[in-house]
Amino acid sequence: MCGIFLELSCEKCSIVNDIDVLRRLKNRGPDHLQRKDFISEIGHHIVFVASVLWMQGPQMTLQPLENECGILLYNGDIFDESWDSRTSDTQIIMEKLSYDCDSQIDKVINVLKSLKGPFSLIYYCKVTNKLYFTRDRFGRNSLLIHKNSNSLVLSSVLGTQYENYEVPVSHISVLDLNTHKILLYTWKATDIVQQCNLSDWLKTLQLKQSLSDEDFTVEANIPWDIDGLEDTVSFIESVAKKTKCNVTIMKTLSQHPEIQTTINKIIYLLNKSIQKRLKRQPNLCRNCLKITEINCSHSAVGVLFSGGLDCTILALLADKYVPKNQSIDLLNVAFNKENPTYDVPDRITGRKSLEELRRLCPLRKWTFKEINVPKEELEEFQINVIADLIYPRQTILDESLGSALWFAARGQDHHSVSNCRVLFSGTGADELFGGYTRHRAVFKRLGWAGLCKELQLDWERIPYRNLARDNRVICDHGRQPRMPYLDEEFAEFVIHLKPWLKCFPSKHLGHGLGDKLMLRLVAYNIGLMEVSTFPKRALQFGSRVANKNEKGCDKSFFFRNQIKNKIVS
C-alpha cells in the first residue's frame, strides 16, 4: 500500500513540511519516499509526495510518476486478468492515461472507470491544467481532502490537526485549476455530469460525512416474486423443522440442486479472488525483500484472524496458493480492558479454528500470533496514534474497531513482530451474506421483502462506513490489506442472489446457522465442520476492546475532550 499526498497553493505550500504527516505517509509505503515540486503555467505551486510499498511488477515503480502529459500519484492494486502481471499496475495506468497525450476529459474518465480493484488516485494533466482524483467505487482505499485559506490538500492520511473529509466514492472528481470549478462524473456508463464551485462541494461533503446509517435510504430492486416464494425456501424451512442437528442440516441443504450450484459458484469465485490477490505480490517477507532473497520461506502473507467464519475460510483457501515452504501468519488480538486475562472469545475461537486448519492442512506451518494488549498501552496509542488515523471518523465504534485492527495489523506478540507484507481481511462478508443481528430483526418484522431491502442498503452504504478508516489503520504498519470478499466479480454474483440464498434468519435456524447461511454451507463443503457453525461475533466485543454498555455512535473520549478544549479556548 502506498501513501499519496498533493498540496496545491497559489503561494508557498506548508502542510507538506509537517513531519507527522510525512511520517504517516512513510509508514504506509516504507520502501521508498519521494517528492516532486511543480509550478503550473498560471503559477500554481503543486507538491506531489508518494511513499511506495512495492507489490506489483518485477521491480519497484517509483512515484510520483511523471511524463510530458501529466503527473500520477497512485495507491492501490489492480486485479485485472487482461493486464500483464509482469508489469507494474502503476506503469500501465500511466500509459493508459497518457495515450497520445490526449487532453479530452472523457478519455481520462473512461480509463479510470475501467480499473478493477481497490485504489485511490490523483492525476494532474499538464495539458489542460486539470486535477483528477478519486477512490474506487467500493471505497476500499483512503483519500482525504483538506482546504484552508492558503492551500488544498489531498492525502491518504492527515490527522486531527487538519479538518478533513473522505473523498466520496460516488463520483470521479475533476478540478479545473483555471476556473476552480469541479466536475463530478458518476461511475455509470452514461454520465450525468455535475458542476459546482469547490467551496460549495466541500460544504456538501461536510454534511454527508455527518450522516448516520439511519439517514441512508435505497429503492429496493426486487426482480423476483417474493410473495410466491419458491421451492428452495420451502425446502430450507422443512429441513430446519425436522432436525436440530447442525451437521444434518448442512449436509441435507447441500444436496439441494440450486443450493449446491450456488455453493460451487461461490467457492469457485472466492478461490479465483484469493488466487489473484496472491499472484500479484513479490512473495517475500519484509526481511527477504531487504536482502533481495529469491527463495523466501517465511510468512509473506498473513490473515487478520479472529477464528470466525469469514477469516478462516480465507486462510484455508489461501493455503492452495501460498508457496508450500512459507508459513502463514494468523494475527489474533485480545485486550484486557475490562477483564483480567486475554482468554477473550476471539482468542478461544481462534485456537479452535487453528486446530481445524492444522487438521485440514497438516503440511502448512500456521503461525498463530497471540497479540495481547494491556489497557495502558491501548489508551496510550489511542491518544497518540489511532485518533489521527481514524479521523475524520470520531465515534466510540470507530475508535474500538480502529484500535483492534491497528494492534492486530501491527502483528506483535510476546515473541516477535510479523514480517508479512500482505494481510487478508474478511471485510464485506457480513454485508454480502447477511451477518448482522439487525438482519434477523428486519426479517422478523418485514419478511423477505424487508430483508432484501436491508441487504441492498447495507451494500449501498458500505463505501460510506468503514473501509477508508480501516485502510488508514491497517496500512500504518506498511502492510497491504487485501479483501477477497470485495472482489468485483465475486461481489457482483452475491449481490444478485436471492436473499434466501445468502442468509435464512428464521426462528428455525438460529444464530450460528441462519445468519450467513450460504457462507456457512461453503465452509462445511470445504471441510470446516466446526467453524461452519461458530456464531457471528463483532470484532470489538470478541476481542474485548469495547464495552457493551457504551453507545457506539457516541463520540469517543478523545474527541469529546478535543471539543471541550476548543470551547474553553
- Largest Cα–Cα separation, the chain: 76
- Per the CB < 8 A criterion, the answer to whether 105 and 174 are in contact is yes
Q: Report how far residue 125's alpha carbon sits from residue 531's, in angstroms, rounded to the nearest whole number.
A: 51
Lookup result for grid cell 463505501 = 463
Q: Report how far residue 78's alpha carbon sits from residue 479's, in angstroms, rounded to the nearest whole number.
A: 16
- Per the CB < 8 A criterion, the answer to whether 545 and 378 are in contact is yes
- Per the CB < 8 A criterion, the answer to whether 49 and 156 are in contact is no
CB neighbour burial string for 329-349, b if at least 16 within 10 angstroms, e if fewer: bbbbbbbbbeeeebebbbbeb
Indicate the residue type of 399.
E
What value does the CA radius of gyration of the chain take, rounded to a whole number of Å? 24
Catalytic residue among 2, 125, 285, 452: 2
Does the annotation count 101 as an active-site position?
no
All cell numbers assigned to 353: 479454528
| Rounded alpha-carbon distances, angstroms, from residue 274 to 159, 254, 487, 534, 556 | 33, 23, 9, 23, 36
The residues, ordered by sequence, that sit 6+ positions from 534 with a Cβ below 8 Å of its Cβ are 307, 308, 309, 349, 352, 353, 512
* Catalytic residue IDs: 2
